[in-house]
């Protein structure tokens, strides 16, 4: 049987030589511009180091489908088969996104060591928190020692600094052992500037369209069938070979595809087929700023058929309400009415004017859209790391306000996603960091970062240098904070809210029209009713009395002074009546109540 591990698609090559374990073996072109070794290979079961010499070059370059880059993106590839090491998660049946809670993490800053194996040691913390999925920021191989991962160039390889592919396999197994699914963040809209050798093999990129990152991935031009297959095979690798439960697709608006069947629709169909084969739920989540329901509309109804999409409108509404910050893209979200709209409509910009963009933006979600299809957060890597100094809301909010953010997020009808450390109010920033070894790239990254903040009105002078290693190290979580009472109390609030979310079915009722909201700008209060559950929030600095119809008990509160049946005289909400019960809500606090359905 022919060994196909070294076959490579290379329509740009005139000659190709396989550099294998120090030997050079000629290759020949076959159908479809695939190249294969000219002679049969007699190899043992050990790993093999290899690369390719294109058109008489003297330095081999890595395999576009390399599974392992032990010496970095400029070094030789190494064979790796995850099936060679028996998997230990045979009893894992997967998790559905509906009703789940996600936590996002960056491997390099999640622990002091910054590896997948050290991350395993912290999974018990996530299990006790009650999350259902970890969403891992990109782990594909990139140039340098540390970075966010969005400038990867070897999509099939796991960054060696994190431990490589074997460590990734151990991490997935460890998550499944604890009942936690894995969502992997992947980037198919562009490639990083250093270590990208794909152009020597074939037309992976095209200048037919333009993006903020330069040339686009060739999804619709000549020879794009194989480029699309490259992406589809990468999706299959994560979900099938590495047992991953879902993928978060980065910046899908930059996947510019003019073909009749969009690449996203093709991926959704592939994953549906694979899900039926592996017998466990598989999830595709799009990161999109388009507010376009087509992403999560079924292909039968003319959509792309993805399972879910990020929705930044929730973040912006919560952030503005709690911080008062209204610069840049936050401007449209001023006032409690914006938060109320997001909680009942899903999108704020649903065809409305976006002053930041200077145009109308978005489209309304259909009324029967399942709310869990929107992934929301009060903090995530983008909304923290893309601020000038990478500051979390912990830096500006009081403990009471942080608890309110947790309550809004974890009692929302959407799929909540925490960001690592959010659950205890981590004070460490998450700044943008990189480690480009090329001086010209380092300079361009630093200068470009400063230029990004002009429209937000942020002071460029305070932007940390992404190439300074201290920018990376100060972004690492400080786990000793958990020993401090104020952090331990917030962690308990997150645990209670996640447990409450799991107990009370009305919290996760998946219909937009199941929620009603009463907001009072004058009093700084918000009351959300969803079935037999009421979420009451006092954003103000004064104690408030909210009159809640048919309230029977307080299920949860961020302040132990919250109580039913005591009048304070600072009244807001429903008028006095036989079925109306007053709720005393301290300043900057929230409570979840049960109400009778009668």
Q: Show binding-site residues for substrate.
A: 248-253, 312-316, 381-386
CA triplet 398, 401, 405: central angle to 5 degrees?
140
Q: Nearest CA to 547 among 524, 522, 566?
A: 566
Q: Residue 356 in contact with residue 332, Cβ under 8 Å?
A: yes
Q: Helices H, strands E: what count in the chain?
A: 14, 29
Assess whether 250 carries a catalytic annotation: yes
DSSP at 282: -
Question: Can you list the alpha helix ranges (DSSP code H) found in 121-262?
Answer: 123-129, 164-177, 198-201, 224-236
Q: Nearest CA to 482 among 416, 529, 423?
A: 423
**238 to 118, 218, 271, 335: CA distances (angstroms):** 21, 22, 11, 42
Copy the structure tokens of residue 424. Answer: 């205890």
Dist. CA 282–CA 598, nearest whole Å: 40
Contacts of 1 (CB under 8 A, 6+ apart): none
Q: Nearest CA to 319 among 366, 225, 266, 382?
A: 382
Q: Using a CB cutoff of 8 Å and minimum separation of 24, what contacts does 565-571 make?
A: 568/543, 568/544, 569/545, 570/523, 570/542, 570/543, 570/544, 570/545, 571/545, 571/547
Q: Nearest CA to 517 among 502, 498, 537, 497?
A: 537
Q: Residue 198 in contact with residue 141, Cβ under 8 Å?
A: no
Beta bridge partners of 18: 25, 52
Q: Nearest CA to 557 among 403, 401, 336?
A: 403
Dist. CA 177–CA 173, nearest whole Å: 6
Q: Taking the CA of residue 543 as centre, how many other CA atoms within 13 Å lie in the half-sphere pointing to its CB?
A: 13
Residues placed in the known binding site = 248-253, 312-316, 381-386
Dist. CA 287–CA 572, nearest whole Å: 38
Longest dimension (CA), the chain: 89
Dist. CA 304–CA 443, nearest whole Å: 39
Tokens 């065809």 — which residue? 351
Q: Nearest CA to 528 among 320, 335, 316, 341?
A: 341
Q: Is 154 helix (H, G, I), strand (E, B) or coil?
A: strand
Hey, which bits of 387-531 come out as E strands? 415-419, 515-520, 525-530
Assess whether 566 carries a catalytic annotation: no
**Which is the catalytic residue, given 132, 185, 220, 250?**
250
**Which is the catalytic residue, given 132, 154, 287, 543?**
287
Characterize the bridge pairing of strands 308-310 and 374-376. parallel
Q: Nearest CA to 436 among 206, 15, 148, 79?
A: 148
How many beta carbons lie within 10 A of that of residue 35, not counting itself?
Answer: 24
Tokens 């937009």 — which residue? 512
How many beta carbons lie within 10 A of that of residue 93, not counting itself?
Answer: 9
The catalytic residues are 250, 287
């Amino acid at each position: 049987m022919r060994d196909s591990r070294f076959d490579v698609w290379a329509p740009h090559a005139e000659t190709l030589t396989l550099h294998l374990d120090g030997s050079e073996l000629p290759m020949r072109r076959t159908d479809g511009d695939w190249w294969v070794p000219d002679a049969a290979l007699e190899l043992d079961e050990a790993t093999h180091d290899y690369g390719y010499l294109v058109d008489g070059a003297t330095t081999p370059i890595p395999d576009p489908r390399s599974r392992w880059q032990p010496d970095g993106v400029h070094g030789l590839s190494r064979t790796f088969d995850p099936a060679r090491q028996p998997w230990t998660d045979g009893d894992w049946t997967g998790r559905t996104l509906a009703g789940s809670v996600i936590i996002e993490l960056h491997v390099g800053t999640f622990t002091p060591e910054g590896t997948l194996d050290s991350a395993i040691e912290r999974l018990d913390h996530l299990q006790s928190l009650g999350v259902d999925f970890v969403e891992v920021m990109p782990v594909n191989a990139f140039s340098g020692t540390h970075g966010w991962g969005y400038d990867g160039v070897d999509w099939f390889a796991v960054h060696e600094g994190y431990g490589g592919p074997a460590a990734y396999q151990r991490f997935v197994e460890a998550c499944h052992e604890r009942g936690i699914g894995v969502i992997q963040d992947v980037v198919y809209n562009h490639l990083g500037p250093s270590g990208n050798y794909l152009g020597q093999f074939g037309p992976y990129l095209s200048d037919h369209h333009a993006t903020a990152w330069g040339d686009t991935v060739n999804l619709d031009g000549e020879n794009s069938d194989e480029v699309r297959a490259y992406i589809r095979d990468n999706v299959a690798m994560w979900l099938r070979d590495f047992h991953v439960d879902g993928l978060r697709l980065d910046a899908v608006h930059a996947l510019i595809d003019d073909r009749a069947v969009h690449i996203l629709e093709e991926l959704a169909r592939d994953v549906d087929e694979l899900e039926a084969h592996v017998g466990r739920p598989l999830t595709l989540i799009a990161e999109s700023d388009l507010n376009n329901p087509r992403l999560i509309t079924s292909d039968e109804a003319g959509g792309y058929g993805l399972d879910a999409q990020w929705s930044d409108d929730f973040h912006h509404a919560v952030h503005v309400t709690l911080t008062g910050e209204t610069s840049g893209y936050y401007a449209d979200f001023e006032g409690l009415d914006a938060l109320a709209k997001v909680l009942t409509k899903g999108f704020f910009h649903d065809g409305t004017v976006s002053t930041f963009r200077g145009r109308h933006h978005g489209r309304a979600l259909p009324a029967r859209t399942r709310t869990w299809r929107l992934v929301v957060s009060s903090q995530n890597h983008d909304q923290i790391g893309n601020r000038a100094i990478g500051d979390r809301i912990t830096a500006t909010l009081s403990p009471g306000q942080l608890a309110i953010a947790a309550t809004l997020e974890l009692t929302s009808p959407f799929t909540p996603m925490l960001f690592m450390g959010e659950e205890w109010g981590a004070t460490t920033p998450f700044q943008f960091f990189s480690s480009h070894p090329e001086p010209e790239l380092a300079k361009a990254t630093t200068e470009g970062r400063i230029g990004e903040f002009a429209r937000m009105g942020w002071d460029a002078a305070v932007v940390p240098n992404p190439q300074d290693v201290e920018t990376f190290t100060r972004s690492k979580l400080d786990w000793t904070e958990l020993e401090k009472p104020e952090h331990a109390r917030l962690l308990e609030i997150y645990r209670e809210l996640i447990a409450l979310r799991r107990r009370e079915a009305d919290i996760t009722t998946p219909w937009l029209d199941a929620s009603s909201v009463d907001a009072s700008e004058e009093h700084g209060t918000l009351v959300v009713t969803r079935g037999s559950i009421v979420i009451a929030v006092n954003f103000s600095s004064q104690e408030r009395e909210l009159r809640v119809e048919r309230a029977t008990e307080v299920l949860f509160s961020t302040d132990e002074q919250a109580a039913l049946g005591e009048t304070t005289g600072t009244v807001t909400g429903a008028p006095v009546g036989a079925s109306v019960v007053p709720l005393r809500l301290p300043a900057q606090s929230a409570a979840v109540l049960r109400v009778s359905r009668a």
